[in-house]
Amino acid sequence: LMNPPQRPYTVAVLGATGAVGREILKVLDEHRFPVGDLRALASERSVGEEVMFGNRPIKVALAEPNAFEGVDLVLASAGGAVSRKLLPEAVKRGAVCIDNSSAFRMDADVPLVVPEVNPEAVAGHKGIIANPNCSTIQMVVALKPLHDEARIKRVVVSTYQSVSGAGKKGIDELSAQTVALLNLRPYDVKVHAARIAFNCVPQIGPFAEDDYTEEELKLVYETRKIFDEPELRINPTAVRVPVFAGHSESINIEFERPLTAARAREVLGKFQGVTLIDNPANNKYPMAMDCAERDDVLVGRVRRDPSIDNGISLWVVADNLRKGAATNAVQIAKLLDAWWNAASA
């Protein structure tokens, strides 16, 4: 590493006015990331608006190639098309980019990183590091200590994903439909695949191979890449539910080796990034309503699957805008900071 950037860093948040972008600004501040100059970038629609970084109001500037001049670190969350167009421009100007979109996730020379699972992958970056999809992140954090303990053979996962995963417009559509339906008025369906108010929709994103949706295939391919297990067997169903914030997942795992529910609870409870909330005697388990603004992954309902030899079922909840997006990106930024800081010492 010839010239590592020096603290405090010049940081650009691309998509700073969006649901994830605003959360990135909050998490950078809460985690006291060493930010010097901060640039908030968005489309021409938002130029001149202000976003808050701690108690500093920041004027939004246009996301264009020259906006990355002098930037050390980019945290991007403005969608795949914007990332594909602008991140190579940022890299050309010397920045390292952490991208929340799906644009580069499966590229062989782009690390796909969840710091609790594969922090070492960051070292191989060539300017772009990808943040996995929200539902993948919370699943792999829960799977990692169990995989280390008993080796995963197969995973069956069903997700219950909140509308904030579709950004601000996804949140607004659930509100508008709910109000319209309660007032017996007509409603629009534009963002989600079908009416989401008072409903569950088993389609997130377009359909792709074998009649699985793109969202479902992300759970398969991203998990294999993060674990570096190209053959890992995963069968996903991804469902949008009328919840504003927080994704929940029902996960059933078959292991190579025996694993008791008690031992599964023990390794989960000790794992960095997981909080175990599992007390059926007192009706305690994690729920989407408990995870707002939390950085950890909540795990409960840990129990043996008596229908197979070495099986465990569990319920996993996380704030999809936090650990599923902003927090994970900032944790990757902290890995870079530690690396740069060590290189310049």
Active site residue 247: yes
Residues in binding contact with ligand A2P, number by CB under 6 A? 17
Q: Is 46 in the site for ligand A2P (CB under 6 A)?
A: yes
Name the residue nearer to ligand A2P (CB basis): 19 or 316: 19
Helix ranges (H only) for the chain are 19-30, 80-92, 134-150, 167-182, 214-227, 261-270, 327-344
Q: Is 169 in the site for ligand A2P (CB under 6 A)?
A: yes
Question: Cβ of residue 293: shortest distance to ligand A2P, in angstroms?
Answer: 17
Q: Is 19 in the site for ligand A2P (CB under 6 A)?
A: yes
Q: Is 168 in the site for ligand A2P (CB under 6 A)?
A: yes
- Out of 97, 125, 134, 147, the active site residue is 134
Place of tokens 């909540």: 298
Phi, psi at residue 228, to the nearest 5°? 55, 45
Question: Cβ of residue 191: shortest distance to ligand A2P, in angstroms?
Answer: 9
Q: Considering only 9-17, 28-36, 207-215, 315-323, which stretch makes contact with ligand A2P by CB under 6 A?
A: 9-17
Question: Cβ of residue 194: shortest distance to ligand A2P, in angstroms?
Answer: 20
Question: Cβ of residue 37: shortest distance to ligand A2P, in angstroms?
Answer: 19
Residue from 5, 12, 21, 213 touching ligand A2P (CB under 6 A): that is 21
Residue from 42, 87, 98, 316 touching ligand A2P (CB under 6 A): that is 42
Q: Please give, one letter per residue, the 3-state secondary structure of 188-222.
A: CCCCCCCCCCCCCECCCCCECHHHCEHHHHHHHHH
d(CA 252, CA 312): 6
Alpha-carbon 67 to chain mean position: 25
Q: How many CB atoms lie within 10 A of CB 331?
A: 21
d(CA 118, CA 137): 11
Contacts within 8 Å (CB) and 24+ apart, 276-285: 276/300, 276/302, 278/302, 285/315
Q: Considering only 165-173, 208-216, 292-300, 317-325, which stretch makes contact with ligand A2P by CB under 6 A?
A: 165-173
Does an H or E element contain 314, and which? strand 311-318
Q: Is 136 in the site for ligand A2P (CB under 6 A)?
A: no
Q: Is 43 in the site for ligand A2P (CB under 6 A)?
A: yes
Helix axes 214-227, 134-150, angle to 10 degrees: 40
Beta carbons of 130 and 113 less than 8 angstroms apart: yes
Residue from 9, 12, 18, 219 touching ligand A2P (CB under 6 A): that is 18
Q: Is 63 in the site for ligand A2P (CB under 6 A)?
A: yes
Return the bridge partners of 98, or none.
Answer: 75, 129
Name the residue nearer to ligand A2P (CB basis): 78 or 117: 78
Site string for ligand A2P, 75-114 (x = CB under 6 A): ---xx--x--------------------------------
Active site residue 192: no
Which residues participate in catalysis according to the annotation? 134, 247
Site residues for ligand A2P per CB under 6 A: 15-19, 21, 42-43, 45-46, 63, 78-79, 82, 167-169
